[in-house]
């Protein structure tokens, strides 16, 4: 389940509550989903109950209980999981730190893809995704390839921009058009249009494209926020970790190298095998505490490096949508940096390929699938910025 899918799930629950007169309208157009802040819980959090509390004339935690109950109405035959409410000890953060309260009783079944829903602080909803959801995220990315994160969030929206003067403004406008189109909007540049994008220009008389080449120039003009001066220095050409563009492209090249090496070894990526095939005489894997069979860290996200990378990949659709809505390609560039750093940490920590005489395992196949997914996200993001993603670097 991606943040966008979770947002739609929560919004549907709010719609149901309004239809049942449990909450007053109107239903918000979008439900914000974000990662829990320090001290929070689960994979994602939302402050939707705090937004609805005022119009409803009810305490935010009561509204959160209503929203949670309506999410649970969409339950299927997924394994039952506990749903808890924590004491209201904090009024800041999307998933404020607080001590765990008692269970609300018999564990209700959760919505597909959600393992646990908690209410913390004054009324923040915190979501822990199901284990197979993390594996499904990798499958979703691999099916979509570099177009992962493209969608119809802005379908039916028509946006026109006036042509912009100067290399940075022209590049910024063209990139925003591509971002809007990736979200289903009809966007184009039309002379005389009312909206004109005006990022801070590059120094007068400087031609970064001629001096740095197209890829480095694009990164230098798009990576800083619109109100910040662009990067135009020669450090953009340095192949070192201190150069963010190099790190992003190097990370992508590493995903391709892993794929090539895996093919040479005859290892086929698999998003989330539960375990290596065991002889018939071996006992079955012991159930985990939540009732599911034990599986690899790559499938469950228990490993911190794997979890960090999974979170970055899961955030990608929301980042693309935000970058389009806010006319901010710098958001995508920063996210690519974050994703590249998460992947480089993952590959150093988790070893996607066997070493020496080590036999390929289910864990290796799972890690390779996650590396392929990271490569797809990096390639797709760079493509939207108009930057080449090199298979060799």
Digit-coded pLDDT (tens) for 340-382: 999 999 999 999 999 988 999 999 999 999 999 999 999 999 9
Cis peptide leading into residue 26 (ω within 30°): yes
For CA atoms 193, 194, 199, 203, the dihedral sign is positive
- For residue range 99-136, list pLDDT tens digits in order: 333 333 333 445 678 889 999 989 999 998 876 677 88
* Sheet with 44-46, side-by-side order of all strands: 44-46, 124-129, 114-120, 84-85
Higher pLDDT, 330 or 96: 330
Q: Comparing 72-86, 151-165, 190-204, which segment has the lowest mean pLDDT? A: 72-86
Provide the pairing of β-strand 114-120 with 124-129.
antiparallel
CA distances from 162 to 51, 128, 184, 187, 225 (A): 36, 44, 20, 11, 20
Is the CB of residue 4 less than 8 Å from the CB of residue 151? yes
Provide the pairing of β-strand 158-161 with 124-129.
unpaired
Alpha helices in 156-291 (DSSP H): 167-182, 208-212, 214-222, 244-265
Residue 298 pLDDT greater than 50, yes or no:
no
pLDDT at 74: 65
Higher pLDDT, 332 or 279: 332
- For residue range 14-71, list pLDDT tens digits in order: 999 999 999 988 899 889 888 887 767 888 899 999 999 999 999 999 999 999 999 9
Per-position DSSP letters for 104-123, written without gaps between them: -SS-PPPPTTEEEEEEETTT
pTM of the model: 0.73
- For residue range 249-291, list pLDDT tens digits in order: 999 999 999 999 999 999 999 997 444 333 333 333 333 333 3
Residue 143 pLDDT greater than 80, yes or no:
yes
CB within 8 A of 333, min separation 6: which ones? 219, 222, 223, 385
Q: Comparing 122-126, 167-171, 192-196, 275-279, which segment has the lowest mean pLDDT? A: 275-279
Residue 335 pLDDT greater than 60, yes or no:
yes
């Amino acid at each position: 389940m991606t943040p966008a899918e979770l947002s739609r799930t929560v919004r549907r629950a709010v719609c149901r509550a309004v239809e049942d007169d449990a909450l007053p309208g109107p239903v918000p157009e979008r439900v914000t989903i974000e990662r829990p802040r320090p001290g929070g819980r689960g994979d994602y959090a939302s402050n939707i109950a705090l937004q609805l509390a005022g119009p409803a004339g009810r305490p935010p935690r009561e509204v959160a209980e209503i929203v949670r109950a309506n999410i649970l109405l969409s339950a299927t035959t997924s394994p039952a999981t506990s749903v808890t409410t924590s004491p209201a000890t904090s009024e800041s953060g999307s998933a404020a730190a607080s001590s765990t309260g008692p269970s609300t009783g018999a564990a209700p079944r959760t919505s597909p893809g959600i393992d646990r829903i908690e209410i913390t602080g004054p009324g923040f909803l915190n979501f822990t995704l199901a284990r197979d959801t993390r594996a499904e995220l990798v499958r979703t990315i691999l099916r979509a390839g570099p177009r992962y994160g493209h969608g119809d969030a802005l379908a039916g929206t028509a946006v026109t921009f006036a042509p912009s003067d100067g290399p940075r403004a022209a590049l910024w406008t063209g990139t925003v058009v591509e971002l809007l189109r990736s979200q289903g909007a009809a966007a184009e540049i039309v002379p005389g249009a009312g909206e004109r994008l005006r990022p801070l220009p590059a120094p007068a008389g400087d031609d970064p494209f001629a001096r740095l080449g197209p890829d480095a120039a694009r990164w230098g003009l798009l990576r800083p926020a619109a109100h910040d001066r662009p990067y135009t220095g020669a450090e953009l050409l340095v192949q070192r970790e201190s150069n963010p563009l190099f790190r992003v492209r190097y990370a992508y090249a590493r995903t391709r190298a892993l794929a090539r090496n895996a093919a040479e070894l005859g290892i086929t990526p698999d998003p989330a095998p539960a375990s290596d095939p065991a002889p018939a005489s071996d006992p079955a894997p012991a159930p985990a505490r939540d009732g599911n069979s034990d599986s690899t860290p790559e499938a469950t996200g228990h490993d911190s490096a794997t979890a960090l990378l999974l979170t970055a990949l899961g955030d990608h659709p929301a980042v693309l949508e935000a970058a389009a809505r806010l006319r901010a390609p710098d958001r995508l560039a920063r996210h690519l940096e974050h994703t590249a750093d998460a992947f480089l940490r993952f590959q150093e920590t988790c070893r996607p390929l066997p070493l020496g005489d080590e036999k390929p395992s289910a864990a290796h196949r799972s890690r390779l699938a996650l590396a392929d997914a990271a490569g797809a996200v990096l390639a797709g993001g760079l493509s939207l910025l108009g930057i080449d993603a090199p298979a060799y670097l």
